[in-house]
Structure 1
């Protein structure tokens, strides 16, 4: 006698018979509906291999884009972390090194970030700034006057923070050939 595959699997113990299988549901009866002139919905045909390949291609592309977005976000977070660390180092370096005076009356103009900026100095500071003994560092939206050594240390940490540092070799002449003592 030939047993069905199901019976053979049950006897071997690989498949256990479930109580739900024992219960047999009565066969469902088709429900008669009126479509009012519309034909009944026909099931979609199974997708072809070309459509499956297209779906796989879209899925792969979506995964690649997700990985690229995640990598870009991680890179942006790393850049922000490095910038924050540089800013903290500059802040610590500038503590007690700022030479700005509240009563300074002279203005020294300079170009920084594509715009003309200014810092208030006294006469001695203006002379030292023009010959390169002093420099200007931008931090927190302010322009701070510091000595040359501190300006070089800031430049080593974050070159974009140094707003003005005159090269002593070219201290007498501006980059346009105009003497610095004729500055505004």
Structure 2
């Protein structure tokens, strides 16, 4: 059992010993050089096939692709932000001089917007026009603004989410009790 694996392979005939095989001879250490202790001998790198790339190149390629993806996402976000600013500026231009909200309005018109019941204060004439579809309600800057139907339609074309209430005149109906159909609970 003291035979090494090499000796066992030679005895079995599986491996033939080459006569010109020489064991590497150790060279005598140079007097001024310190011997390398604990370092394995330098092995040459195995030749790579064309399909293989080294790990450093793979990481570099991956990092480059990640950077390109981040840059693309940032550009898309910047473009979306630019478009949103343009829409907001266009809405502000449409709203200039078109607001019909009155400070002394005494009636409340309730409507559903964003999954919640909201309200806007109007007078009697505005309430009738709002229920008839002649006026609309637009949400801007956290406020609900009363605007003419034409302005509400233009804003709907720019950003449909901003139109909080615009009654379709053809579908607008009032029950016998004078309450609009969309207010019935």
Q: What is the TM-score normalised by the length of structure 1? A: 0.68
1-structure distance, mates of 2:100, 2:74: 40
Task: Please tell me whether Structure 1 or Structure 2 has the larger radius of gyration of its CA atoms.
Answer: 2
Equivalence for 1:117: 118
Ranges in structure 1 where 5+ consecutive residues have no aligned partner: 1-28, 33-38
Contact (CA 8 Å) 2:111, 2:183: kept in 1 or not?
A: no
Deviation by residue 1:121-164 (Cα, 9 ceiling, x = unmatched): 11211111111110011111111000101111111222221111
Which stretches of structure 1, 4 residues or more, deviate above 4 A after TM superposition?
Answer: 29-32, 39-52, 181-184
The residue correspondences of 1:115-154 to structure 2 (distance < 5 A) are: 115-154=116-155
Please give the secondary structure, in 2, of the residue aligned with 1:168. Answer: coil
Deviation by residue 1:68-105 (Cα, 9 ceiling, x = unmatched): 11011001011101101110111111111000010112
The residue correspondences of 1:29-68 to structure 2 (distance < 5 A) are: 29-30=32-33, 40=38, 49=48, 52-68=53-69
Equivalence for 2:102: 101
Equivalence for 1:17: none
More helix as a share of residues? 1
Going from structure 1 to structure 2, the CA distance change for 1:43 and 1:128 (only over 3 Å counts) comes to farther
Going from structure 1 to structure 2, the CA distance change for 1:116 and 1:46 (only over 3 Å counts) comes to farther
Q: What is the TM-score normalised by the length of structure 2? A: 0.68
1:180 is displaced (CA, Å) by 2.7
Equivalence for 1:180: 181
Equivalence for 1:82: 83
1:114 is displaced (CA, Å) by 2.0
Going from structure 1 to structure 2, the CA distance change for 1:90 and 1:43 (only over 3 Å counts) comes to farther
Please give the secondary structure, in 1, of the residue aligned with 2:112. Answer: strand
1-structure distance, mates of 2:100, 2:33: 92
Equivalence for 1:9: none
Ranges in structure 2 where 5+ consecutive residues have no aligned partner: 1-31
Going from structure 1 to structure 2, the CA distance change for 1:143 and 1:75 (only over 3 Å counts) comes to same
Going from structure 1 to structure 2, the CA distance change for 1:75 and 1:47 (only over 3 Å counts) comes to farther
Say which is worse superposed, 51-60 or 162-171, in terms of deviation.
51-60
Deviation by residue 1:1-24 (Cα, 9 ceiling, x = unmatched): xxxxxxxxxxxxxxxxxxxxxxxx
2-structure distance, mates of 1:152, 1:181: 19
CA RMSD for the aligned pairs? 2.9
1:45 is displaced (CA, Å) by 5.9
Please give the secondary structure, in 1, of the residue aligned with 2:101. Answer: coil
2-structure distance, mates of 1:113, 1:162: 11
